[in-house]
Amino acid sequence: MSESVLNNQNKQQELITIKNITKEYPNTVALKDISFNIRRGEIFCIIGPNGAGKSTIVKLLTGQIKASKGEIRVHEFHTIKDRKKILGMFGLVPQEIALYNELTGRENLEFHGRLFDLSKQFMTQKIEELLTMAGLIDRQHDLVKTYSGGMKRRLQLIRALLHEPEIVILDEPTLGVDVQSRNAIHRYIRDLPSKGKTVLLTTNYMEEAERLADRLIILDTKIIDGPGRLLEIQERVFPNLIIEFKTERAMLKSDFLTIFLQKELKGKIISEKDMSEKHVLLQIIFDTIHIEEIFEKFIAYTKANDIPIEEFTLKRPNLEDVFIKLTGKEFRE
């Protein structure tokens, strides 16, 4: 396949193009020269601490605010100049609970459907389907103010899907939600690409991004890293591997094990924790990400030398480690 054909295909895949966006407020810069693309059918995640500019990107994308510099296009449409044309393409789940408390769950959905001019027949059918999916069918006639936080979040999510949008924007959709509701919401989000939706997810939960994102950027006013797959970013930023295992303290006395770990495997003991009188927990870091090679050599050596190994775990640096390494600061949730 020629390069131009490939380029063309990539271009077709690009649904949202964000180009050199800067957003300045009188006393602060919210975003600085941001550029990235979101491809059709992917879950694209923007991760960053509070105040990183995640919600500003959402507002810019939906045309609620204008950029100081740069432009955003959805398909070929400009988000400000062609706002009317793109509004129906988005299904927005805002960070805040934005439901009418004095209406029932069903009335909230019907109101949304009417604003988007859905036919009555389609709306009725779709509402039933979505309420069932979200597990809210039994509470559909209750006022929203009687719902729990998790139920409200789920209702917001299905409301955003009611008018069959092409792009679903989720601005911190699980903020302040209990674990069960969070898991349920994650399941719906994971299913969205299979229904032809493109998802933009902003979050400051690392684990959420790790579970859901196809590609992501790390944002803190400017793009710190990405866009790319989580693994790519992790490998690029933090090309290390950590193994952790429990062994007998006596094994360390002979120094064979430590010499093997340090000389043969090029590892470095970063922690040595007493677990009991006899046992110790070791943590070794390696300047490589090639798990198989390390693992094979380590197992072969311990077997050959009868070194008892318990609770062996292999760890990659998580997104939080990556963030700390990139920015030099703790992640502020």
Partner 1 sequence: MNSIVDERKKAVYKIKKWFRDLRTILKKDLISTKRVKKYFFSGVIPPLVMLFVFTLFLQISNPETYTVIVVDDDKSQFSEIMVDYVANISSDFAPWFTTIEIDTFDEAVALLQDFTYLGLIYIPSGFEANITSGIPDQKGMVYLIVQNINNDYVKNYMQRLDEAVLTFNEEVHVSAGSVDLFAVSLEKTYVIDQSVTNAKSITLGIIAMYGIICGLVFGALNIAKEYEDNTILEIANSPVRRTAYMASKQLIAVVLGGLVILILSILLFLLFHIEFRGDLSIVIISFVLITWIHSGIGCLIGLKFKRTMPVILVCIIVSMLLWFFTGGFAPLNILGENVELFSRFIPATYWTEILVAETLYPSFSYVIPRLAILVILSIVITLFSWYLISKEGFRS
Largest CA distance in the chain: 79
Residue closer to partner 1 (CB basis): 94 or 193: 94
Please report how close the Cβ of residue 163 comes to partner 1 at its closest, in angstroms.
9
**Residues of this chain, 43-62, that bind partner 1 according to CB under 8 A:** 59, 62
Select the residue interacting with partner 1 from 37, 41, 49, 65 (CB under 8 A): 65
Please report how close the Cβ of residue 87 comes to partner 1 at its closest, in angstroms.
5
Residue closer to partner 1 (CB basis): 88 or 308: 88
Using CB atoms within 10 Å of the CB of residue 43, give its burial: 0 to 12 exposed, 13 to 18 middle, 19+ buried: buried
SS3 content of the chain, % helix, strand, coil (to 5): 40, 30, 30
Comparing CA positions, the residue from 13, 91, 11 lying closest to residue 58 is 91
Select the residue interacting with partner 1 from 11, 69, 81, 114 (CB under 8 A): 114
State yes or no: residue 111 binds partner 1 (CB under 8 A): yes
State yes or no: residue 97 binds partner 1 (CB under 8 A): yes
Relative to beta strand 222-228, strand 215-220 is: antiparallel
Are 313 and 242 a contacting pair, CB within 8 Å?
no
Are 331 and 319 a contacting pair, CB within 8 Å?
no
Are 113 and 131 a contacting pair, CB within 8 Å?
no
Question: Which x/- pattern, by CB under 8 A, does the window 157-196 give for partner 1?
Answer: --x-------------------------------------
State yes or no: residue 41 binds partner 1 (CB under 8 A): no
State yes or no: residue 120 binds partner 1 (CB under 8 A): no
State yes or no: residue 121 binds partner 1 (CB under 8 A): no
Cis preceding linkage at 227, omega within 30: yes
State yes or no: residue 29 binds partner 1 (CB under 8 A): no
242 three-class SS: strand
Choices 73-81, 87-95, 269-277, 290-298; region in contact with partner 1 by CB under 8 A: 87-95
Distance between CA atoms of residues 188 and 199, nearest Å? 11
Comparing CA positions, the residue from 182, 243, 242, 171 lying closest to residue 211 is 182
What length does the chain have? 333
Sheet holding 310-315, edge to edge: 267-274, 279-286, 241-248, 310-315
Please report how close the Cβ of residue 152 comes to partner 1 at its closest, in angstroms.
11
State yes or no: residue 102 binds partner 1 (CB under 8 A): yes
Choices 18-26, 40-48, 107-115, 239-247; region in contact with partner 1 by CB under 8 A: 107-115
Question: Which x/- pattern, by CB under 8 A, does the window 130-159 give for partner 1?
Answer: -------------x---------------x
State yes or no: residue 112 binds partner 1 (CB under 8 A): yes
**What is the binding site for partner 1 (CB under 8 A)?**
59, 62, 64-65, 84, 87-88, 90, 92, 94, 96-103, 107, 111-112, 114-117, 143, 159
